[in-house]
Amino acid sequence: MFITKKINIFAHQKSIGRSLKYQENVITKMIKRKLHIFLLSLLPFMGWSQNFNEMLAGMSELSLPLINVEVDISLVTSNHYVPGNISLAEYKDNTVDTISYNCLVKYRGMLALTNHKKSFNIKLVDEEGEKLDANLLGLRTDNTWILDAMGFDKMRMRNRVCFDIWNEFSPTMWDTKHGNRNGTVGTMVEVFINGDYNGIYCLSDKINRELLNLRKAKVNDDGSVTVKGLLYKGNGTSMTNTLLDYDEDNTSDTEWNFFELQHPDEYPSLQTWQPLMDLIDFNSQTTIDYFSEHYNECYYVDNLVDYWVMLAAFGLQDMPYKNTFLSTPDINFDHRFMITPWDMDACLGRDWSGLESASYTSLNCLNRYGPFNRLLFYNIDGFKHKVAQRWFELTESHLSPTNVENHISAIAQRFVESGAWQREYERWKTSYKAAIRPNIHPEIQYAINWYRANLSYINDQIVAWREDYVEINTSTITKIYNYMLGFDTTFNEKIDLNKDGFINSTDVTEAYNFILGINRQKNAASW
């Protein structure tokens, strides 16, 4: 009995010792982390900077991945790729992993090219200059990559936050090898050009044929080409980008009416552009009855609803259909097009140039664009109701202020703890177009406050889209008859289908006409 008690006491003392040692280690790490962050906050005032090799030697678990692009920067343009080399370093499992690839480099963007801090397109190649697929920083295996400078974004993360949240709730409408992902993935890195520090970037993959699982065109025995999968990208602002009109234009190029043929870009022709023309003609040239019967043969309704909700929630200003992809996996079997958003940095209370945009999203934000101009105006098949239902579902989950704030805060914490924000500020503080504040938190608070206010503003309006809708079917007719026969004496405005203040046989006629497809453009939510 005595021996047992002695052993138990010894074990208890040993356990206490281990616990105290563990707590001591935790406290030591906390002190080191806080000291590290404090010292980093002083760096801008010390005029401190490092080159790639110095940063590489000092990497820790707090570091963002580092990328060094070696290229003759004087030769880099937005028109042609030039050869270079890209080195990536990542701190993982208490060691620094480094790897290098031959690559081709060019600038990317249009208006972003006016910024001093420029973005890059990167293509990986082997020693012979041929396409090389590689998995960079665990994102996915591909050969084409983006280094997004985010130069106009005062928070350096708006586009990334939007894509990460979009990926949470809006998948592709068909199976893919990448988890039905309908957006890019990316990670924040610090970039060096020829060893010199150039700031925070987001390394991301691209929206392309491989990601969306679009079928390749087939070259037939007679040399003709059968087009299958299609991928278009809106590149400008014109009537064509409303999907309601277009000019007769050259169809033998990859550029047509401010759209770019991204796949199959090797076969620009009338055959590859005709499906987009047909889509625009369907939106604008068909009767409303024909449109109502066939719109779901041209679009994926769930995808349209998600796109509206995403655009409205974040106040995305630079779309549609500029900065928007339209795709279909095989036009020979399915004519429906899916929407994929792009370049979502003009949001959360700022425009494309980084200026404050205090206005909130109007429910009419997409009324000028096909097919929304008809779906919303005529409220076809209760489209407004579907949008409202999805709005309230998502703003209580993936689009809730809490989830958006968590995404923003997680990236901001990495910026601050790694010292990347301080280095970014020091690098670009004298550049008017790329300038940021020395402290990221006021901009974060501005974005979050704007987001909360925008949701509240939309909530006050969109509730009517959900509450006013009544599905017209045989039960609607039964309710009308019950009122006419006196079984239900309560006047119900929702079954006064022609809104004349009476519930009678004319409302029965309206209901039958709708069910039979006559005057289908009407329904109770728009009467």
- In tens, the pLDDT along 334-348 reads 999 999 999 999 999
User: Could you tell me if residue 406 is inside a domain?
Assistant: no
pLDDT at 476 over 90: no
**191-220: average pLDDT:** 97
Whether residues 148 and 275 share a domain: the answer is no
User: Could you tell me if residue 415 is inside a domain?
Assistant: no
Q: Return d(Cα 517, Cα 500) in angstroms, integer.
A: 22
The token duo for 150 is 């985010």
Of the three residues 161, 187, 209, the one that is the final residue of a domain is 209
Q: Return d(Cα 200, Cα 438) in angstroms, integer.
A: 14
Whether residues 269 and 224 share a domain: the answer is yes
Q: Return d(Cα 480, Cα 482) in angstroms, integer.
A: 5
pLDDT at 24: 52
Whether residues 97 and 122 share a domain: the answer is yes
Whether residues 193 and 267 share a domain: the answer is no
Spell out the alpha helix ranges (H) of 259-300: 270-285, 288-294
Q: Return d(Cα 408, Cα 413) in angstroms, integer.
A: 9
pLDDT at 44: 42
The string over 259-269, giving b where at least 16 C-beta atoms fall within 10 Å of a residue's C-beta and e elsewhere, is: bbbbbbeeebe
The token duo for 140 is 């996915």
> Coil, strand, or helix at residue 92?
strand
- Report how many domains make up the chain: 4
Closest CA to 478 of 499, 434, 435, 508: 508
pLDDT confidence band for 488 (50 / 70 / 90): confident
User: Could you tell me if residue 430 is inside a domain?
Assistant: no
User: Could you tell me if residue 103 is inside a domain?
Assistant: yes
Of the three residues 192, 209, 226, the one that is the final residue of a domain is 209
User: Could you tell me if residue 147 is inside a domain?
Assistant: yes
Spell out the alpha helix ranges (H) of 295-419: 301-314, 372-377, 383-394, 401-418
Residue-number span of the structural domain to which 487 is assigned: 474-515
pLDDT tens digits, 255-269: 999 999 999 999 999
Whether residues 369 and 227 share a domain: the answer is yes
**474-482: average pLDDT:** 85
pLDDT confidence band for 495 (50 / 70 / 90): confident
Whether residues 203 and 222 share a domain: the answer is no
Whether residues 222 and 312 share a domain: the answer is yes
Whether residues 234 and 346 share a domain: the answer is yes
Mean model confidence pLDDT for the chain? 88
**312-321: average pLDDT:** 91
Whether residues 89 and 22 share a domain: the answer is no
Determine the Cα angle at 173 with ends 167 and 177, to 5°: 70
Q: Which phi and psi angles does 360 have, rounded to 5°?
A: -105, 170
User: Could you tell me if residue 318 is inside a domain?
Assistant: yes
Closest CA to 451 of 403, 495, 389: 403
Whether residues 323 and 292 share a domain: the answer is yes
User: Could you tell me if residue 14 is inside a domain?
Assistant: yes
**441-461: average pLDDT:** 97
pLDDT at 417: 97
Judge contact between 301 and 338, C-beta under 8 A: no
pLDDT at 32 over 70: no
Of the three residues 193, 209, 225, the one that is the final residue of a domain is 209
Whether residues 123 and 240 share a domain: the answer is no
User: Could you tell me if residue 8 is inside a domain?
Assistant: yes
Whether residues 103 and 205 share a domain: the answer is yes
